[in-house]
Amino acid sequence: MSGNIVIFGPSGLVGGAALRHFDAQPDWNVTALSRRPPAFEHGGRYIPLDLMDRAGCERILGELTDTTHVIYTALYEEEDVIRGWRAKAQMETNTTMLKNALEPLDRVAKDLSQISLFQGTKAYGAHLRPPPVPARERWARNDHENFYWYQEDFVRELQKGKAKGNGWNWMILRPQTIFGFALDAPLNILLAMAVYAVIRRAEGLPLCHPGGGPYVTEAIDTRLIANCLDWATDADGARDEIFNITNGDSITFPSLWPTLAKHFGMVMGEPEPQRLQDVMPTKAHIWEGVAKEHNLRDIPFDKLVGQSWQFADFNFAAGKNPAPVVVSTIKLRQHGFQDCIDTEDMLIELLEQYQDEGILPR
């Protein structure tokens, strides 16, 4: 497949992986749009754009008349990420951003073929209570307010009368906990894990899991998501469908800690439940010393992990022992996408990527 692909949100975890993936393909012309530029070198065309600026969206997107595919990964989170998941303002902002992105393109891009966007396990109410195992796409919509529903309903309405013949189709992916490369992203659990480990090492302490009980869940590598987005550009089975997507194995977060410890040459210690969002900001001076010693990129500590400390706390569940959160990926496999990756292998490969980029020390 080939075409002109527009990626919204390339500075984030999923958008950055999509940009890297399609930029490496010779038959794709890539345009990436976000308020902040991606934190890595790439060959695509980057255009600064605030998706809350409707006039700016009309002006800039109105020129992208040759767009054939859209990957929408832009996301707004409140300062209090977890509480924000229930906030009306968060839902309205995310819906407005999507409308400002798609309405101008829908008018001018006559060869538009596909729009891909994202939900997640909050679609099953996982942020409210653990859903039955495994969560399936065919279930009735979970009865709670969520910007996912506003965005999905908008896309379905925008598509009416266009899905047949030369019209465009859509695909929605629902990833489990996302692992990938990004800076200052609000849901970057891997960088939170790694920075926590490096600071513990600098303090001469063993690596101790900071959370609660070993509930079973799943992870997803953003590179796998990018592969799926590529598959979907030319797959009849992806048309107007919603898919769960995971690496293909099951994990507990404590089970990942030995791999993390081995990678950084640390010994394991007993669990030390704690709230990283409270503890880690007090360790900024330690990180600054590490960064200077290892000649790392000059990134302010509060812009390195940021709100992801809170997201990590939510997943690690200090003081709790949550029920399993597992989704079925049978539908995606039945429709034609078979890729998978071992989560421990993923962890090592992504940590090495952060090290290669000068963000984590060797």
The domain ranges of the chain are 3-176+221-245, 178-218+250-325+342-356
DSSP annotation string for 27-74: TEEEEEEESS--SS--SSEEEE--TT-HHHHHHHHTT-TT--EEEE--
CATH topology match: 3-176+221-245 vs 178-218+250-325+342-356? yes
**CATH class of residue range 178-218+250-325+342-356:** alpha beta
Q: Please give the C-alpha separations between residue 167 and each of 7, 112, 138, 318, in angstroms, as whole numbers.
A: 20, 7, 25, 48
Q: What is the pLDDT along the chain (362 residues), one digit of tens a residue?
A: 789 999 999 999 999 999 999 999 999 999 999 999 999 999 999 999 999 999 999 999 999 999 999 999 999 999 999 999 999 999 999 999 999 999 999 999 999 999 999 999 999 999 999 999 999 999 999 999 999 999 999 999 999 977 554 589 999 999 999 999 999 999 999 999 999 999 999 999 999 999 999 999 999 999 999 999 999 999 999 999 999 999 999 999 999 999 999 999 999 999 999 999 999 999 999 999 999 999 999 999 999 999 999 999 999 999 898 999 999 999 999 999 999 999 999 999 999 999 999 999 99
CB 225 within 8 A of CB 18: yes
CB 101 within 8 A of CB 51: yes
What is the rounded CA–CA span in Å between residue 247 and residue 300?
32
Q: Which of 184, 210, 182 is nearest to 196 (CA)?
A: 210
Angle at Cα 99 formed by Cα 98 and Cα 101, nearest 5°? 65
Burial class (CB within 10 angstroms; exposed 0-12, middle 13-18, buried 19+) of 228: buried
Q: Per the structure block, which two tokens stand in for 180?
A: 């990938």
Cis upstream peptide for 210 (omega within 30°): no
Which alpha helices (DSSP H) does the chain contain, by range? 13-23, 54-61, 81-84, 88-108, 147-159, 189-202, 222-232, 253-263, 276-279, 284-293, 301-304, 308-316, 330-334, 343-356
The CATH code for residues 3-176+221-245 is 3.40.50.720
What is the rounded CA–CA span in Å between residue 79 and residue 83?
9
Give the pLDDT of residue 166: 56
CB 215 within 8 A of CB 323: yes
Give the pLDDT of residue 162: 72
